[in-house]
Amino acid sequence: MSDSLFADASQRFAQALKYVQISEDAIEHLKYPKASLQVSIPVRMDDGSLRVFQGYRVRYDDTRGPGKGGVRFHPSVSMDEVQSLAFWMTFKCAALNLPFGGAKGGVALNPKELSKFELERLSRGYIEEIADFIGPDVDILAPDVYTNQMIMGWMMDQYSVIKRKISPAVVTGKPLTMGGSLGRDTATATGAFYVIEAMMPKFGRRPQETTVAIQGFGNAGAELAQLLWQAGYRVVAVSDSQGGIYAAQGLDIPSVRQFKETTRSVKAVYCEGTVCNIVDHEVITNQDLLALDVDILVPAALENQIMAENAANCRAKFIFEVANGPVSAAADAILEQKGCQVFPDILVNAGGVTVSYFEWVQNRSGLYWSLGEVNQRLRQRMVEEAEHIWKIAQELAVSMRTAAYVHAINRLAEALAAKGTRDYYVNGHH
């Protein structure tokens, strides 16, 4: 799977290069990760046996600041996948003007098979192995697929034990009591919501007349569904890894969430009696959901959901990528021909890394902000960068994705040029 991931990411980079003035040095510099680490993590299991897990951390680029990126626990984690995600993070941080470079980490395992004790030993073991490779000024970790506040807390604690000093800024997405930021757990969804709210009026769309389908009813997807529902959008379908539900007249999102939280699935979502609205709904598959005739489609699950094979079935007018890389490069071309506007992950889901940056700043200053302050700063940054990227897309007559990469590459190129490029050394430009 992930071979195509890095190829895809590189293809988008190449696509954007046609529209930027950038030195050969910068292009050469961005072709390779700065540093990659692969580690073995021995874990004593609850039954006394020993298992060794493979862990990874890649710092792709740190021209604009320390590396920043999540850690995922997933069976498909590989060096190639982690490198691709670190490459993406480099552009995401630059697109949002954060003083960070791109990094990513992961451990290959199915976390659902481990007890809480085993997960804690694994999380601490991962930090034991990579402690010299990370740090508040070097590379900062964050939650990703199947990692959460609790796991981030263990990781921060282990790093502090190793360094013999409390180091909250090495990890973001921590519990509040350990220096986490208000609004971090919902930041990805909140940021995506601000982008949707800023972009839809450009097409003359009003919430009441806009239908939405959301693939992935996890942390980001469920929260975004709630925000859209509250704002008056008609959310007609949601799905999780087990399958999805559809109701043409719109779903009652709070009831769906309540049901999902008590039973861990969105199937048969409407509970008995008066607790929630009884709405007729159809059970649909994830593939059905991607092909629904809706205004907005939000892929908020895993990468590579809309591929060359199924892109033609896609009938949405707008796609907002809340997952990382849910639409392949080949699918992009098909969607563009169909007149579907794709708003790229490196803008839409950047709320998470933006509030991670705010958390890091709060940790370093020791001054903590209210939820209102966090969201106000998040809205300002998401809307400002979305407008910038929109302007580039209009001026160059390119897709929003290419515009986002152009925006990011320009910032990276400026940072690289500040250190001196061939042009400077050979032609003596000042």
> Residues 6 or more apart from 54 whose CB is under 8 A from it?
38, 39, 40, 41, 77, 107, 108
Question: Quick one: 52 exposed, middle or buried, by C-beta within 10 A (0-12, 13-18, 19+)?
Answer: exposed
| Residue 427: predicted pLDDT | 67
Three-state DSSP class for 413? helix
187 and 118 assigned to the same domain: no
| Residue 9: predicted pLDDT | 78
97 and 237 assigned to the same domain: no
156 and 191 assigned to the same domain: no
Residue 1 domain-assigned? no
Q: Does residue 100 contact residue 65 with C-beta atoms inside 8 Å?
A: yes
Q: Which are the catalytic amino acids?
A: 104
163 and 210 assigned to the same domain: no
347 and 239 assigned to the same domain: yes
273 and 421 assigned to the same domain: yes
333 and 187 assigned to the same domain: yes
The helix (run of H) or strand (run of E) holding residue 291 is none
Distance CA 23, CA 423 (A): 8
157 and 275 assigned to the same domain: no
Residue 67 domain-assigned? yes
Last residue of a domain, one of 178, 198, 216: 178
| Residue 269: predicted pLDDT | 46
Two tokens, residue 106 = 């992961």
CATH code assigned at 190: 3.40.50.720
Distance CA 88, CA 73 (A): 18
Can you give the pLDDT of all 430 residues of the chain as single tens digits? 345 677 777 888 888 889 988 888 888 888 889 999 999 999 999 999 999 999 999 999 999 999 999 999 999 999 999 998 899 899 999 999 999 999 999 999 999 999 999 999 999 999 999 999 999 999 999 998 889 899 999 999 999 999 999 999 999 999 999 999 999 989 999 999 999 999 999 999 999 999 999 999 888 999 999 999 999 999 999 988 778 888 888 888 988 888 877 766 665 444 443 333 445 567 888 888 888 899 999 999 887 888 988 998 899 999 999 998 899 888 999 999 999 999 999 999 999 999 999 999 999 999 999 999 999 999 999 999 999 999 999 999 999 999 999 999 999 988 887 876 666 666 665 5
| Residue 264: predicted pLDDT | 64
286 and 377 assigned to the same domain: yes
Number of structural domains (the chain) is: 2
Last residue of a domain, one of 142, 162, 178: 178
Q: Which residue do the tokens 């971090």 mark?
A: 184
> Residues 6 or more apart from 224 whose CB is under 8 A from it?
189, 192, 193, 214, 298, 300, 322
Distance CA 334, CA 319 (A): 13
Tell me which residue range forms the domain holding 44.
Answer: 33-178
Last residue of a domain, one of 130, 154, 178: 178
Three-state DSSP class for 141? strand
398 and 315 assigned to the same domain: yes
Angle at 85 between CA 81 and CA 89, to 5 degrees: 170
Residue 10 domain-assigned? no
CATH code assigned at 128: 3.40.50.10860
| Residue 119: predicted pLDDT | 96
| Residue 430: predicted pLDDT | 54
| Residue 390: predicted pLDDT | 97
Q: 250: phi > 0 → left, psi -120 to 50 → alpha, else beta; which?
A: left
